[in-house]
Amino acid sequence: MSGNVRIVSVVDDDVSTAIFFHEALRQNIDGISVFSFTDPVKAFEHFTENKENYVLVISDLRMPGLNGLELLKKVKTLNPKVRTILMSAYNFEEEELYQQYMKEAVINSTFEKPVTMNILYQRVRDQLNVN
């Protein structure tokens, strides 16, 4: 991959969510290459192989094998410049680890599911414009 490829990935164990977000971002946000994963371990393998080209990882909180907090922590450890968004259908603001990761900027942004497309695009654009 060339250096100007900007990768955004969506990680959600719900297949329909992963596909829907993938298509929505691919069609509405210019200048990015979108990958979606239903397996957080596979998502992290892809990130590891392409970490220099990644600009954003959007991850669900609750997933089997590797939850969103763990995944985003691993991502930031490998490439601290990558922006991260945590999404969840559950109220996670009370969780201590979540609060700690917000302070440490392991998590750069969040949104609750279900999310409107406008909020999704706005959050993604906000994070892409930071770099």
CATH number at residue 81: 3.40.50.2300
Q: What is the pLDDT of residues 78-90, one digit of tens each?
A: 999 999 999 998 8
- Contact at 8 Å (CB) between 98 and 107? yes
Rounded CA gap, 31 and 11, in Å? 20
Q: Does some domain include residue 115? A: yes
Q: What is the mean pLDDT of the chain?
A: 94
- Contact at 8 Å (CB) between 35 and 82? no
Q: Per the structure, how many domains does the chain have?
A: 1
51 has pLDDT over 70: yes
* Tally: H helices and E strands in the chain: 5, 5
Rounded CA gap, 127 and 56, in Å? 7
Quote the domain boundaries for residue 107: 7-123
pTM: 0.95
